[in-house]
A and B are shown apart, each in its own frame.
Chain A
Amino acid sequence: MYVAVKGGEAAIDNAHRLLADRRRGDRAVPALTLEQIAGQLALAVDRVMAEGSLYDRELAALAVKQSRGDLIEAVFLARAYRTTLPRFGYSRPLDTAAMLVERRISACYKDLPGGQLLGPTFDYTHRLLDPRLAGDVSIEEPARRETSDASMMRVSEILAQEGLIEADGAIDQARGVGDITRAPAEFPMNRDSRLQALSRGDEGFLLALAYSTQRGYARSHPFAGEIRIGEVEVEIEVPELGFSVSLGRIQVTECQMVNQFAGSAKAPPQFTRGYGLVFGQSERKAMAMALVDRALRAAEFGEDVVAPAQDEEFVIAHCDNVQATGFVEHLKMPHYVDFQAELDLVRRMRAEHAGSTAPHEQQPREAAE
């Protein structure tokens, strides 16, 4: 017999009211503005945009505020908002070579055209807490240096000149560009769909997988060929105009990882590559993405699939933190009936077990009784 049980309406209402109160906190402290969140917690906002797969700083800041800083909850809010909007179309592919660069480094070449530009980085800080930041200290304006507008060649182009590195990556797209938001994931997956999934994948999960490849689980001996952060222009073909228009710019982080490859009977030894492209300033994520992208190309290079990071289905099916949190967190929803059934089953099994063993053996009492 199945009995539907209802209840908890007042409790839920009051819980949400309590949530609103706790979120606001001490009313004597001014409420955070979205400008403050977007401006001063910018990298949290970037993470929500990247994993929410929705570029909109103001909405991501609102999500951070609404979620009390729980970034996976904020990502969930961004994803939910996305589903309410119609889709106007696909942009032209971004040209990251034409980026207005805010940071660009290479671990492969010291003196490369355009130079090593550190930008606003945590690197080389001492990771000591700065007590001055507890207050509102005045911050000096950034230093400036006049520069001739040198174009910033990609490191992959430098290596490509000698034929030492594989090309950017061509995919058979006879059936169009893969889109995991339109078609259910099917394995094996094309690299384009994988990159889409990785770009919005959970930073922590990808970081751990990337780390595992460095520790020997699918060793690929990587170099950070180039990391660049900056703004790129977004363009779209507008059918009613018959030409493409610029929609403005977005900030992205791009990572080109350079990996060793011994070569095969067919191909001479050559560097191979992993690619990372992420919304906002998200360097760790872009690097992790590039390492995982390369590990997932194992089959392409005839490498043995021996480690989790090389297992396409394992990585892609588990990298989305909204899906992951949905399934893990659903366990807290009422399972009263399921549990009653299980309880009943365990009792019956124990009774059968008791019946089949020697009658003089004392059975331990059930803990619940």
Chain B
Amino acid sequence: MIETNQAPDENQSIRQRRMAVLARADSAAIARCWTALGIDPTFTMLRGPETGLVTLRGRVGGGGSPFNFGEATVTRATVRLESGAIGHSWALGRDQDKARLAAIIDALAQDTEMAGRIDEAVIRPLASAQDTDDRSRVAETAATRVDFFTMVRGED
């Protein structure tokens, strides 16, 4: 599946992380980083980009048995590069350009040397922007935290 000399588990978690960052990023942000990388590989679309539904599941009481909660639009794509590497992308929403580009990036990143360049130029800046965004939202929410105090009632 993944032909590099790293341990398969480690490769898998790196790939999951990469795909998660791409799924969360918007099309324009990915395209900016991608353009900076200056690569234009030849690829064949094996599937899609196609938009469909994924049924989202929750858990009863938050941690109990699963239940079907509602649906979300999801777009996926699969590409093959000339090298034979296959890349996939899956993300919420209906952005097909993003799906295609994310699948190409996933395919390219299966080459160890290329993975380093991609992580440097695409994944790291996107992840860093996402982390900043999260931290800022956490800080904004934290400012609305209630600090209770007790009134002294004067009963000595």
Question: Which A residues are within 8 Å of any B CB, using their own CB?
Answer: 49-50, 53-56, 58-59, 82, 85-94, 96-97, 100-103, 110-111, 115-120, 142-147, 149, 154, 156, 167-171, 173, 177-181, 191-193, 195-196, 199-200, 233-234, 236, 238, 240-250, 252, 254, 256, 273, 275, 277, 279
- Inside 8 A of A143's CB, which chain B residues have their CB? 140, 143-144
Interface segment, one of B19-27, B32-40, B114-122? B19-27
Contacts of B144 in A (CB 8 A): 103, 117-120, 143
Contacting A at CB under 8 A, from B40-75, are: 50-74
Chain B residues with CB below 8 A from A256, complex form: 61-62
- 5 A/B residue pairs, CB under 8 Å, sorted by A: A55-B73, A90-B55, A97-B63, A145-B139, A242-B1
A82-B53, A234-B54, A248-B23 as given contacts; A196 in contact with B141, CB under 8 Å: no
Contact: A88 with B138, CB < 8 Å?
Answer: no
Residues of chain B lying within 8 A (CB to CB) of residue A120: 144
Whether B61 and A87, one on each chain, are in contact in the complex, defined by CB atoms closer than 8 angstroms, is no
Q: Are A171 and B146 in contact (CB under 8 A)?
A: no
Note all chain A residues with C-beta closer than 8 A to B53: 54, 82, 85-88
- Say yes or no: B72 contacts A169, CB within 8 Å: no
User: A residues within 8 A CB of B91?
Assistant: 247-248
Judge whether B12 is part of the interface by a CB distance below 8 angstroms. yes
Q: How far is the CA of A249 from the CA of B1 in the complex (A)?
A: 27
Contact A117 B56 (CB under 8 A): no
Known: A196-B67, A240-B78, A247-B91. Contact between A94 and B56, CB under 8 A?
A: yes
Given A234-B72, A244-B16, A168-B62 contact (CB < 8 Å): yes
Cβ–Cβ < 8 Å partners of B19 in chain A? 245-246
B97 within 8 A of A: no
Closest to B92 in A: A248
Name B's A-contacting residues (CB within 8 A).
1, 12, 16, 19-20, 23-24, 50-74, 76, 78, 88, 90-94, 134, 136-146, 148
If A90-B54, A117-B141 touch, whether A246 touches B23 (CB-CB below 8 Å) is yes
Main secondary structure of the interface of A (DSSP, over half): mixed
Question: Contact: B58 with A145, CB < 8 Å?
Answer: no
The smallest C-beta distance from B80 to any residue of chain A, in angstroms, reads: 12
Contacts of B24 in A (CB 8 A): 246, 248-249
Q: Assess A154 versus B67: contact at CB under 8 Å? Given A89-B54, A92-B57, A102-B141.
A: no
Give CA–CA (A200, B58) in the complex, Å. Answer: 13
Beyond A144-B136, A171-B67, A236-B74, 6 additional pairs, beta carbon < 8 A: A58-B94, A144-B142, A168-B59, A171-B65, A181-B68, A247-B23
| Smallest CB-CB A-B distances: 6 pairs | A168-B61, A168-B64, A169-B60, A246-B20, A169-B64, A192-B67
Chain B residue nearest to A244 in the complex (CB): B16
Chain A residues lying within 8 Å of B139, measured Cβ to Cβ, are 144-147
Write out the residue numbers on chain B whose beta carbons fall within 8 Å of the beta carbon of A249. 24, 92
| Chain A residues whose C-beta falls within 8 Å of the C-beta of B78 in the assembled complex | 240
CB of A97 to closest CB in B, whole Å = 7
Residue of B nearest to A228 (CB): B62
Q: Are B61 and A115 in contact (CB-based, < 8 A)?
A: no
In the bound complex, do residue A177 and residue B66 qualify as a contact, i.e. CB atoms below 8 Å apart?
yes
Q: Say how far A104's CB is from chain B's closest CB, in angstroms.
A: 8
CB proximity of B137 to chain A, nearest CB, Å: 7
- Contact A243 B16, beta carbon cutoff 8 Å: yes
Cα A195 to Cα B67 in complex, Å, equals 7
Given A54-B72, A234-B54, check contact A154 B62 (CB 8 Å): yes
CA distance A173 to B65 in the complex (A): 8
Given A147-B138, A169-B65, A85 and B54 touching (CB < 8 A)?
no
Distance of A350 Cα from B83 Cα, bound (Å): 87
Q: Is B90 a contact partner of A168 (Cβ separation < 8 A)?
A: no
In the complex, what's the smallest C-beta–C-beta distance from A191 to chain B, in angstroms?
Answer: 6
CB proximity of A278 to chain B, nearest CB, Å? 9
- Residues on B with C-beta less than 8 A from A94 are 56-59, 69
Which residue of chain A has the shortest Cβ distance to B147 in the bound complex?
Answer: A115
How far, in Å, is A39 (CB) from chain B's closest CB? 15
Q: Report A63 CB to chain B, min CB distance, Å.
A: 13
A85 to B50, CA, bound (A): 10
Partner of B57, one of A93, A117, A171, A243: A93
Instruction: Determine the distance from Cα of A157 to Cα of B68 in the docked complex, in whole angstroms.
Output: 23
Q: Decide: A234 near B92, CB < 8 A? Known: A94-B69, A247-B74.
A: yes
A168 vs B65: C-alpha distance when bound (angstroms):
8
Q: Are A149's CB and B69's CB within 8 A?
A: no
